[in-house]
Amino acid sequence: MHAPETSFPPSPAKPSDVVVSLVDLRLSYPSPEGEIAVLRGVDLAVRAGEIVAVTGPSGSGKSSLIAVVGGLETPTGGSVRVLGTALESADERTRTALRRRDIGIVFQAYHLVPAMTALENVALPLVLAGEEGGEAAAQAMLREVGLGHRMSHRPSSLSGGEQQRVAVARAFVAGPRLVLADEPTGNLDRRTGEHVAQVMFSLTRASGAALVLVTHDEALARACDRIVAIDEGRIVEERVVRDPVAAGARG
Amino acid sequence: MSGASSGISPLRRLVRAELAAGIAGLRLFIACVAIAAFMLGAVWMLGAGLSRALSENGTIMLGGDVAVEVVNAPLDADLVVRLADLGTLSEVSELRSTAIAGDARTPVEAKVVDDAYPLVGEIALAQSADGVPTLAEALSEREGLPGTVVEPALLSRLGLSVGDTMTLGGGTFEIRAVLLREPDRLSAGFLVGPRVIVSEAAGRAAGLLSSQGLVDYRYRLRADDGDAQALAAAVAALEPERGWELETPADAGDRVRETVARVTTFLGIAAMVALAIGLTGAWAASRVWIGRRVRTIALYRLSGAEPGLVVALHGVLVAIAAGIGIALGLAGAGVLAFVLMDLLAARLHLPWQPAALASAGALAALTLAIGIAGACASALSGAARTPPGAAMRSADTIPTPRPRDAALGAAAIAAAILLAILGLPDEILAATAAFGLVLAAALLAGAGWLVARAAARVKPRGFVARVALQGLDDPAKAAMRAVAIGIGIAGITAVVGAQRSLDTALRAELPDRIPDLVLLDVQQAGIGPLTARVEADPLLGGLQASPFMRATITAVNGVPAAEALVREDKDWVISGDRSFAWAAEPTGAELLGGAWWPVDYAGPPLVSAEEDVQEAFDLVPGDTLTFSVLGRSFTAEVANIRMEYHRTFRPEFLLVASPVPFRDAPHSWIVTLEGETDAAVDALVADLARDAPGVTAIDVRRIVDDLTRVVEGAGLASLAIAGLLLVVGALALTAIVAADVDSRERQALAFTLVGASRREIAAARLAEAGTIGALAALVGGGAGLAGSFWLASAGLRVDFAPGIVALVLPLALGLAAALAAGIVGGLGAAPRGRGQLVRRLAG
């Protein structure tokens, strides 16, 4: 048995807006043997303030789903609306602007810039947005994830958990309305993984953003508001763990 | 693992497995090594082959152990007898004449030889229907006709073949064989026509050795007791008052030797630059390769491989790749050097030994092997320090090498450069060039370091500027990249600048194609008819006639000429016979001092000295010069100093004297004229063949065309060298850029995730690469231009004229480097295409 579900804070939001809307989403990749279908008609809606776990075996299409929702891949069929923007027809510029303004992304492999310090990595989205006082906000965010003492360290001198907390801080620093996390605890031991997840959940709840979390970790999935199971590119099961609106009302 | 046997076996197994998988990852490394090996090998082999051929064949080139030369009049008979007492003597006379067959005529370089010729070396004659005759057989008289051997060019110009007859001087000769090689060819000066050899008896009978012609008389001696030095001293003691030019084998072919030394130095410095760039490329390529294998190495380490085994495995693989590169490069170099040596040795009439190429090739291989070992030391040391844990992380940067290994690597590179220095004929020039390269590298490193320091201080707000500066703010990395790109720019600029200067100098030395025709040996009686003939043809004109004699300067103000010399580089003015004329009126040359004598001046001889003579002795009008003409000695006051331009085929005389008493001495005239059309000139040449067979007509048009071809060939060759350097530079640059690709891709992925556009990523990388490129272009280009100035003035001894190419080239190379790095690290590094990003994210 993993960590108890109640260890994660409930959502304070009163979500009504649909942040992500997928209708018959299809994606295939070219290969020497022909097109490989990765997503075969996914329908899904994620509301603001909602934390949705996406689970499924390796190769089921979870990471590709994150890539499409994050505007990193263009679907080959169906529609993807993220915060009102139809990504299937959006150009690179629009998708980049959306990612910069409204989406934070965390990956299993951290994907930090090795040459930059933790503070510089976290400040990057604010620099891109051209925001004033980016450094102060990045410092505050690093303190929030418990890395106030590691700001000037480069990724190579941080532990895996610390690197992932930097990645989380970077994903949340610009106040995104949607955070996508692909196996954020996959490289971490259970305790560190729980800590990182807790940080993510609390930041999500505090900001009212929606969080789509790909995970193999059953306990982590059960801590989310809803669990969506994917297999062979299709949603095979959808289960509501709690209603964030009701939870918020109770809270 | 313990014991040697258990250590060797896994290494063998791993090497076999790695080789079975292929070493394609080392392709770039092999290319860098191969092209550096090609340049270094070709230059060294060619240089060694030529130098050895020249140094081993001094006696052959000279035609004996000692040679003396006089012009116009032969040595007195009793002096010749005394010379013959000192050793085996051979007399050879050379003169310009005209070979005539029917209506066709062509100027030739006639050589009249005695029975002892050649004293050393061998004449090579071509196979004919009757086999290969000896020289004596070929020159002998048969059925009343003397024989001659001629160069192939004569046959084609006159439309003759072996067995035909031709007229030379006043005699008819039967062509008996084709002359392929003449051992003493390099002792002759500039040849205006094909060589024709006749026997002394036949040459004398044909009037070739008349007292009025310009004849070089050469007396070669071979020491019967083998003591060449004693022979030279004994000969020197016999020098007559009229003077002579005495040469030993060390002096033979000195102009060719100087040219070879110059060319070898230029090529050697180009090769040294290629070595430096090639090693830079090998260094970068080895780091790329090891960098991409960090995970594999970590997995080996995880499986229990000790650092020593990892180094041994990668060392063996790098050594195999280096061996392939060196073998490919040297094989190409060997073929090129062999072909060129064969061609050049034939042109220089010298025998040569292919073994000379082998030793130079072996030295090049050794130099490269040492240099490459040094260049790969840091990557291999990094491989040894790769921790097993790297397999668990997405690490693909090589750990920094141990200081001791880095120092060993640097020492090996220094040893390779030292070998490269010792491989060149002029070690001081080579050492200066190497020092220049090191200095340029230091300047580049310093500039890179300063830029990094400055970049670290600035914190701009914008993404592009911030990312660009962040890419620059590591001083060690910035210094290394500046050196890696800039050293190539410096070397290439230096070589191209020097090449342009050499090309400009060679072209400046090309004579103007005026006049079109030079007529030698025109007798006094022939001047009138010739003038009338030219005046009658409106397409001919510009006729100038000058008496043509030779003089040897023996003393200045009563001091022997050799002692009076103040400029060593002008010693040629006292070396043998020099051009001499008499004139009543000014020749038209500019006077730098003094005045011309009155037209009717008939007093004691006055002389007009050319500027070179003035510089040789620091002469002023009023000084006296003693010189010998036609075996008689004269002392004359210097009336004025003249300046000649040395760029035309018009007769230019070192000394011009007042008419008395030279006007009445036996001499011929030299006549120059111009033609508006080739046909008019050709018609005059045909008339002269009929009316004045003794006159030698030198067709300047053909000579200038030939020289132009030679200069253009030299220009093309040096351009090819510079082009090859560019190829090495491009390969090294590719390696340097490739070294960064993986980390650039990772960064681009991170930037993409946080919302940076491809354009922003590309702009940031371009700005970063552009800064390094500009730095490398400015510092490297500046150092390169300074290097080309030094190379042109000190190495090649030509005026510095780098041309616009050498100025623009560094900027173009810097821009190319920046664009390549910017595009690869920016646009190319950002994920593109369906599925690419997800694959990278997963990785």
Name every chain A residue with its beta carbon within 8 A of the beta carbon of B751. Answer: 113, 124
- Alpha helices (H) in B64-169, listed in sequence order: 77-86, 135-139, 152-158
B555 plus B586 within the same structural domain: yes
- CB spacing of B470 vs A116 below 8 angstroms: yes
pLDDT value for B559: 92
Q: Is B706 a member of any domain?
A: no
Q: Is B691 a member of any domain?
A: no
- CB spacing of A73 vs B397 below 8 angstroms: no
Q: Is A4 a member of any domain?
A: no
B157 plus B267 within the same structural domain: no
Q: Which of B221, B251, B281 is a domain's end point?
A: B251
Q: Which of B618, B652, B675 is a domain's end point?
A: B675
Instruction: Sort B624 into a burial class: Cβ within 10 Å, 0-12 / 13-18 / 19+.
Output: middle
Name every chain B residue with its beta carbon within 8 A of the beta carbon of A68. Answer: none
Amino acid occupying residue B635: T
B130 plus B246 within the same structural domain: yes
B339 plus B468 within the same structural domain: no
C-alpha closest to that of B550 among B657, B624, B696: B657
- Nearest residue on chain A to B742, alpha-carbon basis: A114
- CB spacing of A99 vs B470 below 8 angstroms: no
- Nearest residue on chain A to B397, alpha-carbon basis: A114
Q: Are the CB atoms for B759 and B469 separated by under 8 Å? A: no
B340/chain A closest Cα distance in angstroms: 50
For residue A57, what are the domain limits?
A: 18-250
Size of interface A-B (CB pairs under 8 A): 93
Q: Is A202 a member of any domain?
A: yes
B443/chain A closest Cα distance in angstroms: 26
- Nearest residue on chain B to A104, alpha-carbon basis: B754
Q: Which of B234, B251, B268 is a domain's end point?
A: B251
Q: Is A243 a member of any domain?
A: yes
Residue A28, phi then psi, degrees to nearest 5: -135, 155
Q: Is B529 a member of any domain?
A: no
Calculate the CA dihedral of residues B354, B359, B360, B365 and round it to 10 degrees. Answer: 130
Q: Is A42 a member of any domain?
A: yes
DSSP letter string over B368-395? HHHHHHHHHHHHHHHHHT--GGGGGTT-
B273/chain A closest Cα distance in angstroms: 33
Q: Is A8 a member of any domain?
A: no
Q: Are the CB atoms for A188 and A196 separated by under 8 Å? A: yes
If one counts the domains in chain A, the total is: 1
Is the minimum CB–CB distance between B841 and chain A shorter than 8 Å? yes
Q: Are the CB atoms for B434 and B272 separated by under 8 Å? A: yes
B396/chain A closest Cα distance in angstroms: 11
Q: Is A143 a member of any domain?
A: yes
Q: Which of A92, A103, A107 sits opposite B757 (nearest CB)?
A: A92
B831/chain A closest Cα distance in angstroms: 9
Q: Which of B750, B752, B838 sits opposite A64 (nearest CB)?
A: B838
Q: Are the CB atoms for A44 and A235 separated by under 8 Å? A: yes
- CB spacing of A127 vs B746 below 8 angstroms: no
Q: Is B329 a member of any domain?
A: yes
Q: Is B703 a member of any domain?
A: no
How many other CB atoms sit within 10 Å of the CB of residue B44? 28
- Nearest residue on chain A to B474, alpha-carbon basis: A115
DSSP letter string over A196-229? HHHHHHHHHHHHT-EEEEE-S-HHHHHTSSEEEE
Give B124's Cβ-side CA count (13 Å radius): 11
- CB spacing of B753 vs A124 below 8 angstroms: no
B752/chain A closest Cα distance in angstroms: 8
| CATH number reported for the structural domain that contains residue A242 in this entry | 3.40.50.300
Contacts for A40 with CB less than 8 Å, ≥ 6 apart: A26, A61, A232, A233, A234
- CB spacing of B756 vs A100 below 8 angstroms: yes
Q: How far is Cα B756 from Cα A125, in angstroms, rounded to an integer?
A: 8
- Nearest residue on chain A to B461, alpha-carbon basis: A127
B405 plus B448 within the same structural domain: no
Contacts for B242 with CB less than 8 Å, ≥ 6 apart: B70, B552, B628, B631, B632, B633
Q: Structure tokens of B516? A: 């079109």
- CB spacing of A130 vs B462 below 8 angstroms: yes
Pairing of strands B668-675, B624-629: unpaired
- Could you tell me the mean pLDDT of each successive run of 10 residues in chain B, 843 residues long? 48 81 82 88 85 81 87 84 91 88 84 91 82 88 92 88 89 92 78 87 86 77 87 87 80 70 76 84 85 80 78 92 95 91 80 85 93 91 77 62 88 90 77 87 92 87 84 81 84 85 75 72 85 90 84 91 86 79 84 90 91 90 91 90 67 86 84 84 79 76 71 70 74 72 79 84 86 90 91 80 84 82 72 66 60
DSSP letter string over B411-443? HHHHHHHHHHHHTSS-HHHHHHHHHHHHHHHHH
Q: Structure tokens of A76? A: 């080959």
Residue B156, phi then psi, degrees to nearest 5: -70, -35
Is the minimum CB–CB distance between B457 and chain A shorter than 8 Å? no
B817 plus B779 within the same structural domain: yes
Q: Which of B753, B831, B841 sits opposite A63 (nearest CB)?
A: B841
If one counts the domains in chain B, the total is: 4
Q: Which of B397, B754, B837 sits opposite A128 (nearest CB)?
A: B754
Which of A124, A135, A214 would you mutate first to test chain B, the one with the most B CBs within 10 A? A124
Which of A100, A113, A173 would you mutate first to test chain B, the one with the most B CBs within 10 A? A113
Is the minimum CB–CB distance between B825 and chain A shorter than 8 Å? no
pLDDT value for A226: 94
Cα distances (angstroms) measured from residue B256 to each of B53, B186, B573, B712: 11, 8, 19, 19
Q: Which of residues 703-762 of B touch A (CB under 8 A)?
A: 743, 746-747, 749-758, 760
Contacts for B190 with CB less than 8 Å, ≥ 6 apart: none
pLDDT value for B541: 84
pLDDT value for B74: 85
Name every chain B residue with its beta carbon within 8 A of the beta carbon of A70. Answer: 753
Residues of chain A with pLDDT under 70: 1-16, 244-251
Q: Which of B466, B750, B837 sits opposite A112 (nearest CB)?
A: B750
B753/chain A closest Cα distance in angstroms: 6
- Nearest residue on chain B to A122, alpha-carbon basis: B754
B715 plus B764 within the same structural domain: yes
Name every chain B residue with its beta carbon within 8 A of the beta carbon of A115. Answer: 470-471, 474, 743, 747
B756/chain A closest Cα distance in angstroms: 7
For residue B43, what are the domain limits?
A: 1-58+256-425
Q: Which of B746, B755, B758 sits opposite A125 (nearest CB)?
A: B755
B830/chain A closest Cα distance in angstroms: 11
Amino acid occupying residue B540: L
Q: Is B525 a member of any domain?
A: no
- Nearest residue on chain A to B464, alpha-carbon basis: A128
- CB spacing of A73 vs B837 below 8 angstroms: yes
B401 plus B450 within the same structural domain: no
Quote the pTM value: 0.67
| Interface predicted TM-score of the whole assembly (ipTM), two decimals | 0.75
B274 plus B348 within the same structural domain: yes
Q: Is A9 a member of any domain?
A: no
Q: Is B127 a member of any domain?
A: yes
- CB spacing of A99 vs B754 below 8 angstroms: yes
Name every chain B residue with its beta carbon within 8 A of the beta carbon of A107. Answer: 753, 841
Name every chain A residue with its beta carbon within 8 A of the beta carbon of B755. Answer: 96-97, 99-101, 103, 125, 128-129
Q: Is A3 a member of any domain?
A: no
Is the minimum CB–CB distance between B686 and chain A shorter than 8 Å? no
Q: How far is Cα B406 from Cα B403, in angstroms, rounded to an integer?
A: 5
Q: How far is Cα A129 from Cα A139, in angstroms, rounded to an integer?
A: 17
B621 plus B633 within the same structural domain: yes
B452/chain A closest Cα distance in angstroms: 14
Q: Are the CB atoms for B515 and B522 separated by under 8 Å? A: no
C-alpha closest to that of B688 among B546, B542, B544, B523: B523
- CB spacing of B470 vs A114 below 8 angstroms: no
What is the SS3 assignment for B220? Answer: strand
Q: Which of A67, A114, A134 sits opposite B743 (nearest CB)?
A: A114
B556 plus B416 within the same structural domain: no
Q: Are the CB atoms for B685 and B697 separated by under 8 Å? A: yes
B83 plus B218 within the same structural domain: yes
Instruction: Sort B620 into a burial class: Cβ within 10 Å, 0-12 / 13-18 / 19+.
Output: exposed
Q: Structure tokens of B256? A: 């060719």
Q: Which of residues 382-441 of B touch A (CB under 8 A)?
A: 394, 397
A7/chain B closest Cα distance in angstroms: 29
Name every chain A residue with its beta carbon within 8 A of the beta carbon of B753. Answer: 70, 72, 99, 105, 107, 111
Find the helix or strand (DSSP H, E) in which A55 lies.
strand A51-55
Which long-range CB contacts under 8 A does A151-157 form with residues at least 24 apart? A151/A117, A151/A118, A151/A119, A152/A117, A152/A118, A152/A119, A153/A117, A153/A118, A154/A114, A154/A115, A154/A116, A154/A117, A154/A118, A155/A110, A155/A112, A155/A113, A155/A114, A155/A116, A155/A118, A155/A121, A156/A114
- CB spacing of B760 vs A128 below 8 angstroms: yes
Q: How far is Cα B260 from Cα B254, in angstroms, rounded to an integer?
A: 10
pLDDT value for B6: 45
Pairing of strands A85-86, B559-560: unpaired
Is the minimum CB–CB distance between B617 and chain A shorter than 8 Å? no
